[in-house]
Structure 1
């Protein structure tokens, strides 16, 4: 059964994502939202929470700028036939939520954890005693919602509980600032971690960007 709250959840995710990335406010479109990101390889993105083929094809036909992204909340096998040459398929995503709670996660032996908040974004950094990078993540505050973003663990430090440490710390920080629901779009790899931490999957997301062959050359 489809989740009737997808449109609302995607809008809340956007509210936090634009704070996390420092992008423009979203522009309302008949099919969703457009966001100016302002990076060379990520100029803008179109977000479609409840896509239909006609809308996607219309956006694709009107796109000529490399670095334009599509975030379409539907399965890849549904969306990919709607786009043509020049559109590259990124890693699939999953829209997920979790009720937030206060926690004091234990830092595994051999690591240190620091965190700070600036501009509505809280960041967590895990390092070795020598100061080497081990893991990180950030969470953007958007009222009663908070959006987790850019969670990463260095390859040599995976399977040591650092991803869970980062997530629990971020969730606790957000809870203490008044947020009660966490939101994220996770990769298939991250989904397993988030599942184990009590996150619920609501919808798949297909991620595409425009890079015509002449631009790639």
Structure 2
């Protein structure tokens, strides 16, 4: 997807993200989109695919609700000076894409895999034979795109191929449902796994949330 602008890629990502999380439809803004999430610690998020200092400062100045989040597709060090007290920096993210293909991964010995689809979201759960949680993930269908979300592996079960199992299973589910392109925002820890599976980094993402001190509220 070398010819697609970052704004289009980010829009594709949030189209699937809102399906995955069951949040509001994105509201168009001059600088990007606002999404109402409606959770106590994640009230809403503002997504800026090409953030400018002026736009970020205006959003920050107008923000008073704790749990408001900023998703800025730029390096952390570039945008951090634009926010003031009360804004907390989360782990950096990376917008990544891949071309989806069908796969049939093998389940490692000692584990079971369960998968199901509901409301446009396919989920994968990996457990031990004793039923203990080992890994999970989900992928939301948004037209020709599949957006991977909430992939995690229990600390006790890492480095056993379960992350790859989850990802390949999700990618196949999206492909079989008609998607041709996968998108996700990964953590630094997940980036190596996704890269090994053929995913390409398209842009960095700085993630911040508003949590002012009691005195500042």
Q: Same fold (TM over 0.5)?
A: yes
Cα drift, residue 5 of structure 1 = 1.3
Residues 40-51 of structure 1: pairs in structure 2 closer than 5 A = 40-51=40-51
Q: Give the whole-Å Cα distance in 1 for the aligned partners of 2:145 and 2:216.
A: 38
8 Å CA contact 1:76, 1:206 repeated in 2? yes
Distance 1:55 1:174, change over 3 A: same
CA RMSD between the two structures:
1.5
Cα drift, residue 4 of structure 1 = 5.7
**Which stretches of structure 1, 4 residues or more, deviate above 3 A after TM superposition?**
none
Q: Deviations over 1:51-73 (max 9, x none)?
A: 11000000000000000000000
> How many residues matched?
216
Structure 1 length-normalised TM: 0.97
Q: Give the whole-Å Cα distance in 2 for the aligned partners of 1:215 and 1:205.
A: 30
SS at match of 2:71: strand
Q: Deviations over 1:148-174 (max 9, x none)?
A: 000000000000000000000000000
Residues 33-72 of structure 1: pairs in structure 2 closer than 5 A = 33-72=33-72
Structure 2 length-normalised TM: 0.97
Q: Deviations over 1:77-104 (max 9, x none)?
A: 0000000000000111000000001110
Structure 2 gaps of 5+ residues are none
SS at match of 1:54: helix
Residues 103-118 of structure 1: pairs in structure 2 closer than 5 A = 103-118=103-118
8 Å CA contact 1:137, 1:166 repeated in 2? yes
8 Å CA contact 1:3, 1:202 repeated in 2? no
Q: Give the whole-Å Cα distance in 2 for the aligned partners of 1:18 and 1:81.
A: 29
